[in-house]
């Protein structure tokens, strides 16, 4: 029994360069999620979860599980950006999709050290 797949996904599976770009995007996103999730330290203390220059306080504190959103960032990048990659591939072609994939990986390369450091500061409180 053959499972019917979307034509764009079938085209990507036949195109090795696009498939490699999509796999690289997925692996980088999931690696970011694992790295950030490994940094979360559960504790009874309230941790810094939000900073803003508006309002009465600048740093807002809450329970530790609110910082799990940082690890969810990597999962959301994997899901949403791979779906956008497939859509761009079907509408605009391989070159633009690969450019989008490279830009997504660049966002991860910039965001992961920043978020890693934020989690380090959150664990000090």
Query: CB under 8 Å, gap of 24 or more: what pairs does 91-94 form?
Result: 94/15, 94/17, 94/18
- The pLDDT, as a whole number, for residue 105 is 93
pLDDT profile of the chain (125 residues), mean per 10:
67 92 93 87 72 71 77 90 93 94 94 84 63
CB 13 within 8 A of CB 23: no
DSSP H helical segments within the chain, as ranges?
Answer: 7-14, 16-39, 68-76, 82-92, 94-124
The residue whose two tokens read 């910039």 is: 110
CB 32 within 8 A of CB 74: yes
CB 17 within 8 A of CB 94: yes
The pTM (predicted TM-score) of the whole model is 0.78
Domain ranges of the chain: 7-124
């Amino acid at each position: 029994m053959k499972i019917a797949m979307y034509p764009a996904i079938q085209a990507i599976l036949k195109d090795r360069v696009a498939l490699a770009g999509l796999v690289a995007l997925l692996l980088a996103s999931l690696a970011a999620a694992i790295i950030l999730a490994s940094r979360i330290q559960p504790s009874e203390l309230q941790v810094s979860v939000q900073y803003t220059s508006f309002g009465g306080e600048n740093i807002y504190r809450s329970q530790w599980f609110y910082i799990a959103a940082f690890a969810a960032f990597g999962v959301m990048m994997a899901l949403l950006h791979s779906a956008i990659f497939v859509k761009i591939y079907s509408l605009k072609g391989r070159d633009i999709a690969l450019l989008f994939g490279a830009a997504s990986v660049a966002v991860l390369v910039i965001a992961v050290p920043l978020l890693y450091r934020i989690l380090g500061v959150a664990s000090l409180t």
